[in-house]
Amino acid sequence: MRAFLFLWLLCVAVRVVAAPPPTILVLGDSLSAAHNIPIDAGWVHLLEARLGPMTPPHRVVNASISGETTASGRGRLPALLRQYRPAVVVLELGANDGLQGMPLKQIRANLDAMVAACRDAGAKVLLLGIELPVNYGPRYRDGLRTIYAGLAGKYHTGLVPFLLQGVALKPALMQSDGMHPTAAGERIVFDNVWRALAPMLGGKAEPRPAPVATAA
């Protein structure tokens, strides 16, 4: 009996040790795909670096594609949820829809469906909002802003109201296209995301203790 109990405990311990780290899935567009800058300068890579020395470890999967819209992201999401089974999904979509002047009702429906799918899959959600240039007019700009806030309230998700806060209006932090951050701007974007994401990690992500030096 004792031998059986020992083997059972050993099997349980092996399963615990072998359990994969929680996955953070980022689904976005060029703002999350390190557009025109080195990959390791993008905010998603900075997130990986921030989580690297922490316990428990977290895996970051960046499924962002330049040009992604809420419709194409909605189409790709189910397969990503099945493949990676993320603990947290960071949704950064809507900018390309807005720039194309897509109907707000359609944008909201796509984002709503994605948040619901993530929640049904057992994942927490962090919504990253975006602001449009002033030439799109206050009605459309306010409508897009309201979509993110409304969904965050409806589903009790995390929310970054404006991903490029502190960056977008500073030419030195933006690329020549006026739409994408420079490497320096990406560090501020990461800070914007991290402030909202860190509390969603369950308070378990603590810095790993430094290794103790031993005598040779």
Active site residues: 30, 177, 180
In three-state secondary structure terms, 31 is helix
Classify residue 38 by burial, with Cβ atoms within 10 Å: 0-12, 13-18, 19+: exposed
- Give how far Cα 40 sits from Cα of 37, 45, 47, Å: 8, 5, 10
In three-state secondary structure terms, 47 is helix
Element (H, E) at 146: helix 138-155
